[in-house]
Structure 1
Amino acid sequence: MPHQPDQTKTDTHPSAFSRTWGYLNENVRPSGLAELELLILTFCIGLQDAISFPDFHCFASNQTGNTVFLVLAIVLPEANGDMFFTANIGIALGFFLAAAWLTGQLGHIIGARRRGWLVLCNFIQTCLVFTAAALQYIYRSPTTGELVLDGAQAPSTLWAIGLLATAAGSQVVQSRSLGMTEITTAMATAAWVDLMIDPNLFVLRNRSRNRRIGFLTTLVLGTLTGAFIFRRIGSPAALVISGAGKLLVTVMFMFNSAEKPKVECPEDSA
């Protein structure tokens, strides 16, 4: 009789789809590359905040300042339109918190360090920043470069604030998931304090101190760069550069090393 192929044997080589799916579901581990990615995101946030206050009279990511202004708006409503714009502050803080809540809660379900989740979040944040840049380009005078349609109180401005704050809130939550809390990518107060009180501040090898210094330095450089671009070219260009930086990090997440699976020790036989 002719030889019949063994139907019980199955192909042990995974398909391209299953390999890709497995790769996207790996947990990214804290590493030097992850530090670099967070510093790039910090630079991008510096660009955004450098243009958000002059344009919008609020911060897109620094919610400490927005919280203080919101309280002042409640106590001193007559200062609205002079010292600050209450609607802008409310939009920035509200969208930031909503994005942080959504990103954090979904991260608990999906896996905050999963490569695919990190890539997806960063891609969405990138799209939000580019959309805000487009709004800024559209609603600016081609001759003066100034905001038109009631300037800082225009509907387009509120949309731009909401988009940038949403991207920032999601980014901050995402940065915390990588386990390097010294690089928050946005808020500097805690980093300054933790740096000053570090008992090993002057020790040669101190990774936490180095991360904080790198974060603060990058935030300052991003803000200085954003201010320079704002003065010479205009805020839309700063947002485009910020979006490009976030897009770069989105691609870079595909090359991070993954956490090794934990090997369970076999139980001792009775």
Structure 2
Amino acid sequence: MSSTSGNHGSVTNSAPVVNGDSHAHADEEQPLLGGGGGARKPASKSLRKKLTTDVQRDWADLVLLACYIITGLLDSSSISIWGSFVSMQTGKIPSKPSLPTITARSFAFDSTDTEQKTGNTVYIGLGLAAPTESTRWIKSATSLISFCLGSFFFSRFHRFFSPKKRWVLCASFIAQTLLCVAAAVILTVGPVAGKDEIAWNVLVPIALIAFQSCGQAVTSRALKYNALTSVVLTSIYCDLFSDAELFSVRNAERNRRVGAPVLLLVGAICGGLFAHSSLGIAGALWTAAFLKFLIVLSWFFWPGEPTSDE
């Protein structure tokens, strides 16, 4: 009886222990049940901190140099198909495209075309002087106006939200990617237009591509690499060959000035190949969109500037 009583007593006395074990067990489960929200909160804060951090300027010129490939890709294919620049709004393309310094913008021309090809600004002037001779000036005007609007938009976007913020750079190139995709979709699923035809499926893609192309130039300003706009080469050639330290072993500025036209030439060759293939300019646009997306990823993972609490 006493044993039974003892057993009952032990059970009774051990009940708090059981309850204690129950509470301990519940405490063990608590992080699994409620800790998820606590874990997500620091993660969201960490992501927000990452996105609102300024990216480091060091080596960011490599990303800007990659943009020259995209410029060459789009300009050479658009010149070949539409006879209009979509990135470089000024420039000159001689009738003999054998010179290495101008091959990047003349690769896609038919060798039988012997007239002087000049940039969009001059195309517009020639078109206004003789508007019935060619439709090229209409495409050039569309490209130039869209480029100016894009410059207005992207510059104010960077200026308003802080130029070097990670999320700002990512958002800028996401927008550029989507505009390239939109133009590529129009050209992929839409009807095929002739080289001299003026139709919505010609003017809209030109406008979209020209609008997004200046985002690269604005990024170069935001990162203080003002020479690497990716939409002009004339000043780079001038600065390169007038550099007093042109033949120095270590000269980062010279290296950038050499890399820019070389990479644009690579892109122009690829764009010319697309233009002369069954893929056409749509293939060049899909490729450009893919490259822009890679740049978005590069900005997301790019090292950030150290903050005060680090």
TM more than 0.5: yes
* Residue deviations 1:14-39 (CA, integer Å, cap 9, x gap): 7222221111111112222x222212
> Is the counterpart of residue 244 in structure 1 residue 298 in structure 2?
no
Q: 2:134 aligns with which of 80, 87, 106?
A: 80
Counterpart of 1:267? Answer: none
Distance apart, 1:182 and its partner CA: 3.0
Distance apart, 1:259 and its partner CA: 2.4
Matched letter for residue 100 of structure 1: S
* Residue deviations 1:202-261 (CA, integer Å, cap 9, x gap): 111000000111111100110011101211232211111111101101111011112235
> Is the counterpart of residue 40 in structure 1 residue 66 in structure 2?
yes
Distance apart, 1:180 and its partner CA: 1.7
Q: Superposition pairs for residues 123-162 of structure 1, below 5 Å?
A: 123-140=174-191, 147-148=192-193, 152-162=197-207
Matched letter for residue 60 of structure 1: V
Structure 1 unaligned residues grouped into runs of 5+: 1-10, 141-146, 264-270
> Is the counterpart of residue 185 in structure 1 residue 230 in structure 2?
yes
* Residue deviations 1:187-206 (CA, integer Å, cap 9, x gap): 11111111111111111100
Give the stretch that moved more between structures: 254-263 or 43-52: 254-263
CA contact (8 A) 1:113 1:178 kept: yes
Computing the radius of gyration from Cα coordinates, the structure with the larger value is 2
Q: 1:53 aligns with which of 79, 86, 94?
A: 79
Counterpart of 1:111? Answer: 162
Distance apart, 1:80 and its partner CA: 2.7
TM (norm. structure 1) is 0.84
SS of the residue corresponding to residue 131 of structure 1 reads helix
CA contact (8 A) 1:51 1:235 kept: yes
* Cα distance, 1:257–1:106 mapped onto 2, change above 3 Å: same
Q: Percent identity?
A: 26
In 2, Cα distance between equivalents of 1:86 and 1:223 = 22
Computed over aligned residues only, the root mean square deviation of the Cα atoms, in angstroms, reads: 2.1
In 1, Cα distance between equivalents of 2:288 and 2:177 = 8
> Is the counterpart of residue 260 in structure 1 residue 306 in structure 2?
yes
In 2, Cα distance between equivalents of 1:221 and 1:186 = 15
Counterpart of 1:268? Answer: none
In 2, Cα distance between equivalents of 1:170 and 1:97 = 11
Distance apart, 1:169 and its partner CA: 1.6
> Is the counterpart of residue 17 in structure 1 residue 44 in structure 2?
yes
Counterpart of 2:258? Answer: 213
* Cα distance, 1:194–1:152 mapped onto 2, change above 3 Å: farther
How many residues align? The count is 242
In 2, Cα distance between equivalents of 1:218 and 1:41 = 9
In 1, Cα distance between equivalents of 2:238 and 2:198 = 35
Matched letter for residue 256 of structure 1: W
In 1, Cα distance between equivalents of 2:295 and 2:123 = 32
Matched letter for residue 86 of structure 1: W
Counterpart of 1:122? Answer: 173
In 1, Cα distance between equivalents of 2:49 and 2:224 = 22
In 1, Cα distance between equivalents of 2:308 and 2:241 = 37
Matched letter for residue 47 of structure 1: L
In 2, Cα distance between equivalents of 1:207 and 1:95 = 33
Higher RCO (CA 8 Å, separation ≥ 6 residues) = 1
* Cα distance, 1:244–1:71 mapped onto 2, change above 3 Å: same
Counterpart of 1:71? Answer: 125
Structure 2 unaligned residues grouped into runs of 5+: 1-37, 91-118
> Is the counterpart of residue 96 in structure 1 residue 123 in structure 2?
no
Matched letter for residue 28 of structure 1: V
> Is the counterpart of residue 223 in structure 1 residue 268 in structure 2?
yes
SS of the residue corresponding to residue 15 of structure 1 reads helix
In 1, Cα distance between equivalents of 2:56 and 2:212 = 23
